[in-house]
Amino acid sequence: MRPQTHPNLVHTEGPGACHNKPMTQPVLIAFESHGGQTARIAHRLGTELVAQGIAVDVVDLRKQACTPSGVRGVIVGASVRYGRHSAALRRWVTAHRAALNALPGGFFSVSLVAASQRAQDRGIAKGLIDTFLRETGWTPALTLSVAGALHYRQYNIVLRLLMRRIARRSGGDTDTSRDHEYTDWAAVDGFAHAMVAKIGPPAP
């Protein structure tokens, strides 16, 4: 269990229900992260919601099975790898589609193509969101396509060379001696505030 930074912000990793701490009915933020940037965005969203007085449970679906029950809203986040969102996340959303569609919801998709200066490339990133939602049958109120990061220093040599080649094609950074972050944090914060509007004020 990670240390809590706020009494209304819970990071759940152990077995059992998503929200395993006594708290007001939370908003679930469930995510899958491979390079770490999706996790950073999920926790930033949680911090922003907590600042608005809303209890939050942040769950890494790669570490814990979770169901979206007993929550007042849900945000799902996923990274794009090799041109698609993960099959495991698609299965999770599809399995819980009825519950998700009954709740105020938001989906954020993290990709490198979202950082492109070319409108056509950014359109591809948004198209991946449309495909994911069509395949799962989920209809969240809000979606966000947001750029991720190139964590060159974390990659093995094969992945580092592959990611540099992809970055070169899209006009991205190819200096593998350091990492490069492209996330628009103002857009992430705006997404959080829009979710607050959809969810409504915290219970008294």
**pLDDT, tens digit (0-9, with 9 covering 90-100), for 91-125:** 999 999 999 999 999 999 998 778 777 777 788 88
User: Do 92 and 171 lie in a common domain?
Assistant: no
For residue 69, which of 59, 77, 79 has the smallest C-alpha distance?
A: 59
Of 14 and 190, more confident: 190
Helix, coil or strand: residue 130 = helix
> Nearest 5°: CA angle at 144, between 97 and 39?
80
HSE-CB at 157 with a 13 A cutoff on CA atoms is 0
CA distance 111 to 135: 19
Q: What pTM does this model have?
A: 0.81
User: Do 130 and 33 lie in a common domain?
Assistant: yes
User: Do 177 and 114 lie in a common domain?
Assistant: no
134 found inside a domain: yes
User: Do 68 and 160 lie in a common domain?
Assistant: no
For residue 70, which of 10, 20, 15 has the smallest C-alpha distance?
A: 20
Number of domains in the chain: 2
Of 84-88, 128-132, 141-145, 161-165, give the lowest mean pLDDT range: 161-165
CA distance 41 to 36: 9
- The whole domain housing 18 covers 9-148+183-199
User: Do 164 and 89 lie in a common domain?
Assistant: no
